[in-house]
Amino acid sequence: MEIDLKHYKLYVKRKLDRLKPIFARAALGDYSRNLKIPDQEDEFLDLFVGIQIMLEVIRDQLQELRSVNEGLERLNRRKSEFISIISHELRTPLNAVQEGIHIVLDGLDGPVTQAQSETLGIARENVDRLSRMLHNVLTFTKSEVGLLRTSSRKTEMTGLLASLFELMKPAVLKKGLDFSFACPKGPVWASCDPDKIQQAVINLIDNALKFTEKGKIQLRLFVSKDRISLSVSDAGIGIPKKDQKKILRLFSRGESVLASKMGGSGIGLAVCKEIMDHHQGKILIQSRPRRGSRFTLSWPRQAR
């Protein structure tokens, strides 16, 4: 009896050992190996057949899942291409409208009355905003389908930010806010795609402007040996901790902003993140509700 039990234990152990490699692979998501079904008809036969059938069912379902996934990816790609084409097509007539407004406002078509200038000024602000929005949509959809190209080159950052500062100044001052720009003395060189960095900073200043009612907006550039950083700070509504974790995601908007029914699309920061990813950089958010926010973009000075 004792001998029988010993043999039986050995027999069971040998049978179970044959299952080990199958389960070890399955634990890593690999169901490709088949289980050899034993010849003897014993109590293990049903178990082995059952496991083999289970492996085949899992394999079939995985295959099905893969093709459904491929279909969804194709669909998503087509959707992105569609949005990308539409945004592109919209930009051309919009550029013409922008240009026309500028020509009239600059008096190139003759004198403009105060009232006309005010009306056209509002039209210009909105057309500019629409143009920036389309630019963001285009950037994000391109990035989604892997078509976003950044062309990094050695760029003098102080000059780039100074002109951005001048570009955004009228809108900030018009809202009655202070605006300042601080940077190190002398030229600061870094590798980046200047158009993309400009787009990211404009998004940050746009947000600072949108979420601040009084006080100051500050644009700062600072450098270390290896990294370049620039920040936009405001004295606005601030962002609660739990929102800070999600607002870099596409279409994500802060709860208080949603509750206040403030306009917005949740695209601007997602675009900033894409742009930073393309520079091997990151975005740091520091903020306290009702005290203000600081967004810092930083990337290696020698980024590819």
**Nearer to ligand ADP by C-beta: 231 or 293?**
293
The number of beta carbons lying within 10 Å of the beta carbon of residue 247 is 21
CA distance 154 to 259: 43
268 binds ligand ADP (CB under 6 A): yes
275 binds ligand ADP (CB under 6 A): no
266 binds ligand ADP (CB under 6 A): yes
The residue among 173, 295, 204, 304 whose CA lies nearest residue 244 is: 295
Q: Which of residues 236-255 bind ligand ADP (CB under 6 A)?
A: 236-239, 247, 253-254
**Nearer to ligand ADP by C-beta: 237 or 275?**
237
**Nearer to ligand ADP by C-beta: 35 or 200?**
200
Under rule CB under 6 A, how many of the chain's residues touch ligand ADP? 21
264 binds ligand ADP (CB under 6 A): yes
**Nearer to ligand ADP by C-beta: 15 or 253?**
253
CA distance 97 to 78: 29
**Nearer to ligand ADP by C-beta: 19 or 171?**
171
> At closest approach, how far in Å is the CB of 236 from ligand ADP?
5
Q: Which of residues 167-206 bind ligand ADP (CB under 6 A)?
A: 203
157 binds ligand ADP (CB under 6 A): no
Both tokens of 216, joined, read 């100051």
Q: Which of residues 67-86 bind ligand ADP (CB under 6 A)?
A: none
296 binds ligand ADP (CB under 6 A): no
Residues that bind ligand ADP (CB under 6 A): 203, 207-208, 211, 234, 236-239, 247, 253-254, 257, 264-270, 293
